[in-house]
Amino acid sequence: MNRKLRIKVCGMKFADNRKQVEKLGIDFLGYIFHEPSKRFIGDNPELELFNSKAKKVGVFVNENVFEILALAKNLGFEYVQLHGNENLKTCQILKGQGLKIIKAFSVNEKFKFSNTKQFAKVADYFLFDTKTEIPGGSGKKFNWQILEKYNGHTPFFLSGGISLEDAISIKEINHQKFTGVDLNSGFEDEPGLKNIEKLKLFISELKKT
């Protein structure tokens, strides 16, 4: 694969760490607004955490649409990632307010990619993650060969258990709509604290032709 893959680093919690990550030239930063997650940003996060030039993504799980809109406006989010069972109407309301949508799907061997079709006109990207009990960084992979069954037109991010050792395998994924990777628990020293060296090595390997 010769095209440039977008890099999304998700689960940011610490402002200084965010600055270091951003210097690596990543494209998206994800912030998790889901309390059960170990990477939940907390009730009173420091505002410097969000002072980013990268595209900011608020990650929500079955959250009230008006709460999402308020947070996106207050914190300057361009994107929202919907990681629960959000319906088409929720996506349409958010899209109508000028937000860009990343709709996440939990994938396992039984996943039907036809489930994505209803969101095709409203989502800017899909994100295919490993099906787990709690969203937000499981460290587990699904069988990436399943992606061959996806024949939609919406570009997608790959997520779920990606680590430094996966860079070469990811470059071998030859799907026209594969647009980027979502990096989280495989690049951490603790939940929310990203390991800069691992990220740097991974990105460097990904850019090699």
Residues 48-103: pLDDT tens digits? Answer: 999 999 999 999 999 999 999 999 999 999 999 999 999 999 999 999 999 999 99
**Rounded to the nearest 5°, which phi and psi values hold at 202?**
-65, -50
Establish if 72 belongs to a structural domain. Answer: yes
What is the maximum span of the chain, computed from C-alpha positions, in angstroms? 44
pLDDT at 87: 96
Establish if 46 belongs to a structural domain. Answer: yes
100-107 and 125-130 as β-strands: parallel, antiparallel, unpaired? Answer: parallel
Q: Which domain holds residue 17?
A: 6-207
Establish if 1 belongs to a structural domain. Answer: no
Establish if 105 belongs to a structural domain. Answer: yes
Per-residue confidence at 131, pLDDT binned at 50, 70, 90? confident
Average pLDDT over residues 20-47: 94
Q: What is the pTM (predicted TM-score) of this model?
A: 0.95
Q: Which two tokens stand for residue 179?
A: 């647009």
d(CA 89, CA 113): 20
In sequence order, which residues have a C-beta less than 8 Å from that of residue 143 and are 6 or more positions away? 109
H or E, element range at 9: strand 6-10
Counted domains in the chain: 1
H or E, element range at 206: helix 196-207
Domain CATH for 192:
3.20.20.70
DSSP 39-89: TB--SS--GGGG--SSEEEEEESS--HHHHHHHHHHHT-SEEEE-S---HH
pLDDT at 31: 97
For 155-208, the pLDDT digits (tens) are: 999 999 999 999 999 999 999 999 999 999 999 999 999 999 999 999 999 988
d(CA 60, CA 82): 5
Establish if 152 belongs to a structural domain. Answer: yes
Establish if 136 belongs to a structural domain. Answer: yes
